[in-house]
Structure 1
Amino acid sequence: MKRSALIILMINRFCAFSQIPHEVLYVVGCFENGTTEAQFEFDAEELLYVDFDRDEVVYSIPRFLSDDPSKVFKNYKVFRNAKNNKQVCVTIVKTFNVVEKHPPEEMDPPESTLYPSEEVQLEVENILICFVNHFYPPEIKVSWTRNGRLVSEGVSLSRYYVNNDQTFHQFTTLTFTPKEGDIYSCTVEHLALGRPKTKIWEPDFSHLSPGPDVYCGLGLTLGLLGVAAGTFFMVKGHHRQ
């Protein structure tokens, strides 16, 4: 497809010879084949144009309106400005062509999830997994913190994996030992994100598995059942006598 650019550099409204408003346009047009045109229009009628091949301004004003049309446009420096604007117009066309051949790469922002690999137990070593998914391009930066401080020890990062939709996913892990009050975070940076995305996790010890106290209680219950059973048989034997 051929590219062209049109620049309206000046629009003036004024009254000439009457109270009716008129419009003057200065237009520069350029095309992919190298052709450039510049002209003044008065109420859609051409007043002049620039002939870049002959390096001159050609006036279309009727002689009965002005014996020397160049005096009317003397202060506009028509030819010099037209040459400058020609370069601007050509640059715009080249830019359009570059953008069309190399359009901006589409990007997909990442989604992230933060979770432990095993059931959390107080003071028992575990692994936190930060799963980053559905991002493109594949370059991401991930950082970990514990209680607001950056952590690098115990951190690992997997390679990129391709999803079916041509986006990517990646894992990063942190080996840690859960303690009361600790707060961990995984922060992801990516070109498609306006700002870094952070997920926060803290250990929850409210659902820990029952400990020795339950087993002790269970043993006590079984012991009481044993005493009751023994008493029953003792009483039953007593009635047999």
Structure 2
Amino acid sequence: MFSKTFRAIFAHELTLVVGCFHNGPAEVQFEFDAQELVYVDFERQELVYTVPKHFVLDPSAILGDIGDYNGAKKGKNACAAVVAYCMDMEKNIPEEKDPPETVLYPAEEVQLGVENSLICFVNHFYPPYIKISWTKNGHPVSQGVSLSRYYPNNDQTFHQFSTLTFTPSEGDIYTCTVEHVTLARPETRIWETKFSHHNYGPDVFCGVGLILGLLGVGAGTFLIAKGHYGRTIPQL
């Protein structure tokens, strides 16, 4: 991976990042202060802006000059020579590899019968090629599954998301399994749908009974006191 950085008079950096891999396609993106602004989709031959729309409604109108598809394509074409050179220089040096860290969690608060998403977040792995698979109650699932592209981290590793759209039902068990060259066996994370069924009837009934009992004791005490102090003292 190589990059080119442009610095302004202010403390900001605009960086062109070109990822070259000997076992996969090249990736090109533009970053502003280490945050991705644009990446290049070579299959569709276009720039894809990743600036949130609530910040910029039409990022191409403002950032159009930042991303240049033809320039990005030249960087991609240069990858073959770069990779060949690097592999020749490192023939006897084993490639560093980092195992993935996987977390499985729901996108929103889980409610019975309400559609939600499970996110399998795989982070800090290298090289950037993994396989992610899903199961529901032990059966493979492919419908409702989406997979993001690879995103680079600052430490030269990568992260990736896989999302499964589902409707929670009591007792369902989902798994996300990750395969990577650094793992001796596939790594699986498990998520189970659980709902608490607390019956408030007896508690409410007991609470009302206790309140009524206390009111009864209070009323009785008041009547007794009134009866005691309400007597007329006979005159001697």
Length-normalised TM-score, structure 1: 0.46
Higher Rg of the two aligned structures: 1
Which TM-score applies when normalising by structure 2? 0.47
